[in-house]
Structure 1
């Protein structure tokens, strides 16, 4: 059953001035009477002017409230006055799939068009479209697009074969395209700007991928993908994988084994070994015997030390110094206030675990594990171990497919399915493993020395852009033998469930800036410094702090009113036990060293999807609409607002919580 939209009461805090209240009331009245869902998604200034609000910057409380409510109404929230308060209700998902898709596109276009209007972005797009000399040829980004008429003619002459379309994977790095002279990342970024939503860098791991066509002179771009750090907690995904904490512990309680007992004991020992303690000993927070014979007093001292350094991290003005620490200066990084706080807190937790659970695991046996389940305190510590193990491994053996889609004219041939399959192919898995076979930044900063984490992927997840369905991932399965696996095994995108609607994609940068300024001026004790290790999604934390400074319910206002379908591609047979670390070796469903996977996947796609689509006259007609003669009218061109480009179709961008 879908959750009904919950109305939210908005009013300014008690310390708001009379002038601020009057201005906010006038604005809300105008928004209630105005054209809700106006086509102008960047009209903050017009609304502010119409409400006769002057010198808004000098009224940070009103500025944060005004920008927030304008964005909400612009996204389809309904507002009405009630006495001195205003009640705002989020939009409910439409039963009409076309109307729902239009509403979501509008939400996404808010930030995308705002971004495409930026002068720096426009200059980038124009520089890519401008002709330059490379070798003995004049080239521009248009050389990386395929003319739809030419492709349609080639398909009608020869059918779908590798002579007409010859796809391959190109992992994006700092190198330059030999055929055009463009940096690979600039090529990827240009085509990413054609997506329905704003281009954004992803914190943590990120590996962009181009799918190109070797049958064309300049190897035209077929589509894009990106393998990135996953969302840490997704209930539907975790249950499907079998490693949800409660689900996992219930399975262990029902069937305790010596393997799991040994894994728990190993996890406790490893946690202790991977915490840098030299400065804690030097400062007298710890005594050497405390690590082997901890007491409640030791745990309390560590928690107090953690809180003291947490406050120093948020209040000190040494962020520049932290950013200037050498990448591999692990001890220097470990002794920053941020990581000192994290280390003290983790050590307190680990010593608690070792004291309350360790007695049942010396030695680790199935019988001892079963007995631990009869002790409520030991069960609590087991939960902590499992949650930490999952939190540690989720960012190393699991990834999200955060970008996936084809560009015109290939998208008319269901090339999004080709991109999806190639994004989880042996070539990509090998490149990911090679790229991230290096010390983990957070684990190494906690340990004060290089710490390697498992870089072999077991699972790749993603979401649809629309909750009404995804033609791109629907029925996207293939025989595992295409990727070097067993002939009787099937691989592909399994539907896992539907995600909750939560994030910041419905807020403009203008609103985020106003919220950040308000929380700072009102003395928030927490600062978001965009430092790796502080926590996930700096944008989300900034918005949450700003909404809290207004006294408004952040959890309700961060619901952007949409569902997404969750998908996942399991890559190993021992998914639960390898992912959480019980099994040390993955049992791959494919051959991760398969050298011919690109060609085999391409042949499968050509037969399964491309050839049937190319036989349809409406597909050929649609393909022909993408022309490279001037003025260029092509779906792979960036659709700059106020002219230029052409709307795109068939592409999906997949951030769960943007």
Structure 2
């Protein structure tokens, strides 16, 4: 939040009953007067009971408002109630660094601990910690942890650090089994992910979990874990750094137009048009064959009207089942659903409009002179921007990925092994596995084309964020020689700081609140329905929350600012990051050797020399490692910290109960 952030008045919308208004004011009054303990989560049911709120299922407006305000107070917002009603004020994000870190850590721990109290999660953790027979031996997840005393001794005894720690990359899939323990690799990854300070959750789109393990131990102990996932589509700081922000790119080519860019624009128009299924559009008379080469003056309007008509049909009852029941590879059938008919008509209208305004300048043989003349025409220049934006949107999810999980577990974390995990997550082994996994037909592109369309799967850039917006991060000063990954002498790779995120999103809203907001928006009528279907668009959760807040009449932009800026980082994997990412260059100019088979050993040697051995030489680091022991009762930082059953959430000050496990 900015220094001039003001309070947000909270009133229920027209149509709320006097009883609902009194109930909401009562809840806000309780929240305004209560003293909260920093280590206790908010139990929505507790506060509903305290405020006398009943039968909320039949009061969707009150339910959505009450859930939302409880979540916001849980995240540090404060409530005041005066004669005009409740007023909500954002948390102070300009507090000192330690206070801000403590606030964020507390928020994350509350949600994580709530997850760890769930019976299904506790059963999973217990099953991993329970011994089972494998190859004639009793093993458990504790065999995948390293005793800190043993690690400290190994580092002191071995003259070669690679004898003490031997890191390697292991890519995880849902079916693979660990040969040394019999556990599913994904279960191993999931167990250690539960030791993180924030709650474990799956992400939509692509996701590839990664384990970093230590071959120097009998069962190859887990050093750390990572995950490469679909990226956030729009991040201004990242897009500007890469040089493919629309305005930035168009301005750059206006200053220095090239034949390569001119040819690429011509190819983009042709490919964009040819990858749209049109059989039903021709059959229904919306489109004539000649319109694809020489669009008629009214074809764009006809296509836009067709798109709107089928979009409305898509949002009628029963459409969700219709789309989901279609086989994945039945591309024509998927293309002809109302959802994709709407998307195809809209995209074809846009493409033919671009073709009419830009194609005449580029001609059959695109030239620099033609590009210059197109950029001098304001209308054509606008259409070039649309073409660039569409190209970026198409490729952002295929050649860019986000490092959504990255960190080390005890006792390796004392040796700055988080930096090792970060580097190994960008290694040739990971890039090769990612390409292999996702070199398959794209669901959306194939449904748009009515035939299999395979998108590029060779990554050019990996981005990530720090957990905190202040202080140090495991990505600070994280650069290594490109030769560690088979690259050329004199080049280096690593995590560049790109800027800071804009602290906007839905991470501060619980699932129960999102459900309440969705239910309210659906019952208010006249609003676009969000079905969470793959292909409907970006971030269904964000749109659901926005629609629900709008139904309450509350300011969405203010309430979607969660007040948690994070530092943005990026690892360019290729020298031609802008031109390859957009598709101007067909081949990536890698800074590493993408065919290397060393499983990250070159990076491991660099990390041992640059970070691990220096840390191991410090007594306080060795002492920290020795604190992680695999003797019963097991006290080890890599063990999932299950909260005590007695720690019931309420929101009032309570003393956390103790507890232990074997």
* 3-state SS, counterpart of residue 298 of structure 2: helix
Q: Which residue of 1 aligns with 2:307?
A: 306
Deviations 1:17-63 (A, max 9, x none): 00100000011111111124653213212211111222222211111
1:143-542 equivalent positions in 2, closer than 5 A: 143-158=143-158, 161-173=161-173, 174-362=175-363, 363-523=365-525, 525-542=527-544
Q: Which residue of 2 aligns with 1:81?
A: 81
Q: Which residue of 2 aligns with 1:576?
A: 578
8 Å Cα contact 2:117/2:645 also seen in 1: no
Q: Structure 1: how far apart are the matches of 2:43 and 2:597?
A: 53
Q: Which residue of 1 aligns with 2:108?
A: 108
1:606 aligned onto 2:626: no
8 Å Cα contact 1:79/1:87 also seen in 2: yes
How far the C-alpha of 1:160 sits from its partner, in A, is 6.6
Greater mean alpha carbon deviation, residues 224-233 or residues 284-293: 284-293
Deviations 1:101-121 (A, max 9, x none): 111122223432232222222
Q: Structure 1: how far apart are the matches of 2:232 and 2:305?
A: 30
Deviations 1:618-640 (A, max 9, x none): 11111112122222221111122
Q: Structure 1: how far apart are the matches of 2:296 and 2:3?
A: 47
Q: Which residue of 2 aligns with 1:56?
A: 56
8 Å Cα contact 1:469/1:565 also seen in 2: no
How far the C-alpha of 1:449 sits from its partner, in A, is 0.5
How far the C-alpha of 1:133 sits from its partner, in A, is 1.5
Q: For the structure 1 residues 37 and 381, does the alpha-carbon distance in structure 2 shift closer, same or farther, using more than 3 Å as the test?
A: farther
Greater mean alpha carbon deviation, residues 539-548 or residues 408-417: 539-548
* 3-state SS, counterpart of residue 399 of structure 1: strand
Q: Structure 1: how far apart are the matches of 2:196 and 2:442?
A: 31
Deviations 1:340-380 (A, max 9, x none): 11101000000100011111100311111111122111011
Q: Which residue of 2 aligns with 1:652?
A: none
8 Å Cα contact 1:222/1:410 also seen in 2: yes
How far the C-alpha of 1:326 sits from its partner, in A, is 1.6
Q: For the structure 1 residues 600 and 295, does the alpha-carbon distance in structure 2 shift closer, same or farther, using more than 3 Å as the test?
A: same
Q: Structure 1: how far apart are the matches of 2:621 and 2:386?
A: 54
TM-score normalized by the length of structure 1: 0.95
How far the C-alpha of 1:154 sits from its partner, in A, is 1.8
TM-score normalized by the length of structure 2: 0.95
How far the C-alpha of 1:152 sits from its partner, in A, is 1.7
8 Å Cα contact 2:203/2:229 also seen in 1: yes
* 3-state SS, counterpart of residue 349 of structure 1: helix
Q: For the structure 1 residues 211 and 280, does the alpha-carbon distance in structure 2 shift closer, same or farther, using more than 3 Å as the test?
A: same
Greater mean alpha carbon deviation, residues 521-530 or residues 532-541: 521-530
Q: For the structure 1 residues 181 and 436, does the alpha-carbon distance in structure 2 shift closer, same or farther, using more than 3 Å as the test?
A: same
Q: Structure 2: how far apart are the matches of 1:337 and 1:500?
A: 35
Q: Structure 1: how far apart are the matches of 2:635 and 2:535?
A: 45
Greater mean alpha carbon deviation, residues 393-402 or residues 129-138: 129-138
Q: Which residue of 2 aligns with 1:656?
A: none
* 3-state SS, counterpart of residue 499 of structure 2: strand
8 Å Cα contact 1:208/1:227 also seen in 2: yes
* 3-state SS, counterpart of residue 162 of structure 1: helix
Deviations 1:315-360 (A, max 9, x none): 2313233222222111111111111111010000001000111111
Greater mean alpha carbon deviation, residues 226-235 or residues 33-42: 33-42
How far the C-alpha of 1:555 sits from its partner, in A, is 1.4
How far the C-alpha of 1:457 sits from its partner, in A, is 0.8
8 Å Cα contact 1:483/1:597 also seen in 2: no
1:16 aligned onto 2:16: yes
RMSD of the TM alignment (CA)? 1.7
Q: For the structure 1 residues 11 and 263, does the alpha-carbon distance in structure 2 shift closer, same or farther, using more than 3 Å as the test?
A: same
Deviations 1:447-478 (A, max 9, x none): 01111111111111111010013431011001
Q: Structure 1: how far apart are the matches of 2:6 and 2:568?
A: 24
* 3-state SS, counterpart of residue 380 of structure 2: helix
How far the C-alpha of 1:538 sits from its partner, in A, is 2.4
Which runs of 5 or more structure 2 residues have no equivalent in the other structure? 648-662
Which runs of 5 or more structure 1 residues have no equivalent in the other structure? 646-658
Q: Which residue of 2 aligns with 1:92?
A: 92
8 Å Cα contact 1:5/1:91 also seen in 2: no
Q: Structure 1: how far apart are the matches of 2:31 and 2:129?
A: 40
Q: Which residue of 2 aligns with 1:649?
A: none
Q: Which residue of 2 aligns with 1:142?
A: 142
8 Å Cα contact 2:466/2:473 also seen in 1: no
* 3-state SS, counterpart of residue 376 of structure 2: coil
Deviations 1:169-188 (A, max 9, x none): 00001211111111111111
Greater mean alpha carbon deviation, residues 172-181 or residues 632-641: 632-641
Q: Structure 2: how far apart are the matches of 1:541 and 1:630?
A: 49
8 Å Cα contact 1:37/1:73 also seen in 2: no
Q: Structure 2: how far apart are the matches of 1:160 and 1:200?
A: 39
